[in-house]
Structure 1
């Protein structure tokens, strides 16, 4: 191979690099990316009361038994869609970040759930998931079980919580009956 052929090959490589470089500068000038003002996503979490003192008592709400009398399973299924990021609902589905919620009403807290690894705080709470416990937990998970790993801020609206609990009642082979409202 003579030097003329070698010069042509090296010239072609150099010209290709030069064309790529010019295309890069042109693309960056035409399609300049705009960096976000604040990187990342904000996760809504209720903050603790400042000063380490006792938090202000929440407004007294209706008893869950009374709210469940007017609750809607359909509305509860729609409201529970926000839980799908971490939980599954159908029988036999795998756990995700949180456990599968099939048969949760009346089940033991921090146990079972297809081998899900519950936090120490959830295991220590003990007892069964009653309607009142579910209501308090869905209002403020970290308020009901301090130290829980659940990062959900809670459902502040009474009727929406009742709808979700009514929906959770339907997720079982033999559903736990709804309580009757005491007068």
Structure 2
């Protein structure tokens, strides 16, 4: 009987000690007492800003980059040959034959069973539409049968679009002139850097010349009179 009481006593004592430690540790490690480390171990860039990043260049700019050409696009297209043919009269595979695809209506090749997601798309395969499709097929048409993840680099997308365009399409390639693009951006944002502008920043060269003539001082008179 004494032995049994001794065991019960130790069990009770252990329980009291455990409860006491739990209470003490709970007070010490309470969330209010926890401080963030001065230098966090990892920081995901862009997380605090909502994941924003640099704006991607336009398709027109990429199409006119050095090194972006038909031969480069043919090399990139090698990734597509497991599912597609592109020669005239080529057979459909897992994906449709792509001869003459540029400029053609989306999901319009007769005899090929497109997904409902892609069939629901309207319009034609323009440069921008093809860019969006090649970047992320599932993002472009959620539910597409195409399992390819996409091409992350716009240079690769532009090059392969040029190659496909050379295979039976030959739609006009948009020109990109840096000075014109910069002028368009300035017009959207208004006059900057002290430039006088009209209608959103555009400067009429005739009016500018006339203004300069009017600003010239008359001989014999000090400027500003």
Q: TM-score, normalised by structure 2?
A: 0.54
Partner of 2:6: none
Query: What secondary structure sits across from 2:133 in the alignment?
Result: helix
Query: Which one of 45, 56, 61 corresponds to residue 61 of structure 1?
Result: 56
Measured at CA, do residues 56 and 72 of structure 1 come closer, stay the same or move farther in structure 2, by a change above 3 Å? Answer: same
Determine whether 1:115 maps to 2:111: yes
Q: TM-score, normalised by structure 1?
A: 0.65
Alignment partners' CA distance in 2, 1:157 and 1:58: 15
Determine whether 1:77 maps to 2:74: yes
Query: Which one of 100, 106, 119 corresponds to residue 103 of structure 1?
Result: 100
State the 1:56 CA deviation.
5.4
Query: What secondary structure sits across from 2:79 in the alignment?
Result: helix
Query: What secondary structure sits across from 1:156 in the alignment?
Result: coil
For the Cα contact (< 8 Å) 1:169–1:177, is it kept in 2?
A: no
Contiguous gaps of at least 5 residues in structure 1: 1-54
Query: Deviations along 1:115-162, whole A, 9 cap, x unmatched?
Result: 111011111012100100110110000001111111000000111111
Contiguous gaps of at least 5 residues in structure 2: 1-49, 182-225
Determine whether 1:124 maps to 2:112: no
Query: Which one of 144, 148, 172 corresponds to residue 148 of structure 1?
Result: 144
Once the two structures are superposed, the pairs formed by residues 1-183 of structure 1 within 5 Å of their partners are 59-70=54-65, 71-112=68-109, 114-172=110-168, 175-181=170-176, 183=181
Alignment partners' CA distance in 2, 1:118 and 1:100: 12
Alignment partners' CA distance in 2, 1:73 and 1:137: 19
State the 1:57 CA deviation.
6.2
Aligned length: 127
Q: What root-mean-square deviation, in Å, do the aligned CA atoms of Structure 1 and Structure 2 show?
A: 1.7
Query: Deviations along 1:10-46, whole A, 9 cap, x unmatched?
Result: xxxxxxxxxxxxxxxxxxxxxxxxxxxxxxxxxxxxx
Larger Rg: 2
Measured at CA, do residues 98 and 180 of structure 1 come closer, stay the same or move farther in structure 2, by a change above 3 Å? Answer: same
Measured at CA, do residues 122 and 57 of structure 1 come closer, stay the same or move farther in structure 2, by a change above 3 Å? Answer: farther
Measured at CA, do residues 91 and 75 of structure 1 come closer, stay the same or move farther in structure 2, by a change above 3 Å? Answer: same
